[in-house]
Structure 1
Amino acid sequence: MKDESYPDRRGFLRRSIAIVPAATAFGAGGLTGAALAQPATPAPATTPAAAAPPATPYTPVYFNAAEWAFVQAAVARLIPSDDAGPGAIEAGVPEFIDRQMEGAFGHAATWYMQGPFVEVSPLFGYQKKMPPREVYRAGIAATDDYSRKQFSGKTFAQLEPARQDEVLKGLEGGTITLDGVGATDFFGFLLQNTKEGYFSDPIHGGNKNAAAWKMIGFPGARADYADWVDRPGVKYNLPPVSIAGPQG
């Protein structure tokens, strides 16, 4: 059923809108012409194909259990699944965010972080002392504290969807004050990383099976479109390609 409680989520996604590994060439050590000419021996009809092993659930590296529950609940409200496409959970956005916390972004490794730290216009971008991973840790804890005080001891992840939307809107608009971290700073990172995880190359953990790319018709990191240059108006129907290879 389509979720109407926090409208126009798909609208912001559509408004938000590498190199492929070369095909392996057979060299001197590759298959011989005779071997290539031999037809493959079919498997006996009575031998069933081996089933692919189930995917192993992702175990967060940075977030603890309470933080992980918050991240999953929050991104599920920012991009819920509906008739238009998969939601953030199905696309693996929580995994993307967790992996970012242990990377250069989470540590602000490439940012100037020596101060002075003063209040400035948002036009100047993020100008605070805490790197993103610390903003997440402080923001999640403070939001859960706010939720417990406002909603009978329940954490954000334990709230019903309508209440979760109410809290997220308060963080976005700055009408909720958090202890130790700016609400709009925290929500800004959360929304930014949710969109990035949804549309990023699958190699980074999000956009599982290139589901978001398929939804918007993005071909991915294909290296060669020469066969399509002179075909205006013809639908491009090849599956998207990740940096790691084809995505079905």
Structure 2
Amino acid sequence: MLLATQTSRRKFLLSSLIALPAMGIAVKGLSAAAAAELAAPSLEGYKPTFFSPVEWTLILAACDRLIPADGRGPGALETNVPIFIDQQLAGDLGSEVYLQGPFDVNAPSTLGYQLPYTIQQIYQKGIAGFDAWCQKTYGEHFALLELSKRDAALKKLQGGEVDFTATGETALKGTLFFSELLNHTRQGWLADPIYGGNKGMKAWIAIGFPGARASYLEWVAQHNVPYPLGPVSLTGQRG
């Protein structure tokens, strides 16, 4: 009970700090972007809701290579992308999908979703199959591979060269698992921070996106002109 009270108090204080700049009140030594950074959970201390510890380790390593921190912008780990994926899979995104057969796993993509699996199951089976393939191919878990081998393994997963049959999986293809992981990684990087990713609105700041500002019509027609105002999140955080 005490822990819950302390957590609620911390959230209240941080929310208050974030709101002050929006009201024109400066907090000495703390910018709005810094306040938004403090409000976001720490990736190091985060306890996944959906992923097991082994699955979480692979997700961290994969996201780090899909959007690396290479100096051109914040990486997936800097922006809490794995937290976004975990929270989305623990909610409706992971479990709510129409699963009425019959299914034809070899049908063309124009016929829509053809798997008897929820998104949660795609991740669980995909992670198990991919890590088993890495151990067979490289003699090591994906998360323990050197960076060049991680990149090579992900390219083979994307290209359909990773076989999941070693774990008894015949319906799920590596290309589909990679597509889901890449799409959710992108979404976590670009989404509003309210959904768990884009910590501190770093991605929006990097690309000059205004976020949820009520009006920025005067800038729409000004091509090749940097947007001068920072982004605003759905909760009123300012970057």
Structure 1-normalised TM-score? 0.72
Q: How does 1:88-167 map to 2 (within 5 A)?
A: 88-107=76-95, 109=96, 111-118=97-104, 119-152=106-139, 154-167=140-153
Q: 1:104 to 1:230 in 2, by over 3 A?
A: closer
Cα distance, 1:93 vs. partner?
Answer: 0.5
- The 2-side partners of 1:137 and 1:177 are apart by 15
Match of 2:58 in 1: 70
Paired amino acid for 1:241: V
Please identify the structure whose Cα radius of gyration is greater.
1
Contact 2:80 2:199 in 1 (8 A): yes
TM-score of the aligned structures, taking structure 2 as reference length: 0.75
- What do residues 25-58 of structure 1 show as CA deviations (whole Å, max 9, x unaligned)? xxxxxxxxxxxxxxx9xx9xxxxxxxx7995422
Q: Which structure is higher in helix share?
A: 2
Deviation, structure 1 residue 67 = 0.3
CA shift, 1:246, in A, is 2.3
Counterpart in the other structure of 1:15: none
CA distances 1:113-163 after superposition (whole Å, capped 9, x unpaired): 1121102112344321111111111111111111111222x1110111111
2: CA distance, partners of 1:129 / 1:230: 44
- Structure 1 runs not aligned, ≥5 long: 1-23, 25-39, 44-51
Distance 1:54 1:138, change over 3 A: closer
RMSD of equivalent CA atoms: 2.5
What is the number of equivalent residue pairs in this alignment?
A: 196
Identity of aligned residues (%): 42
1:210 maps to 2:201? yes
Within-5 A mapping of 1:165-180: 165-179=151-165, 180=169
Amino acid at match of 1:116: P
CA contact (8 A) 2:213 2:231 kept: yes
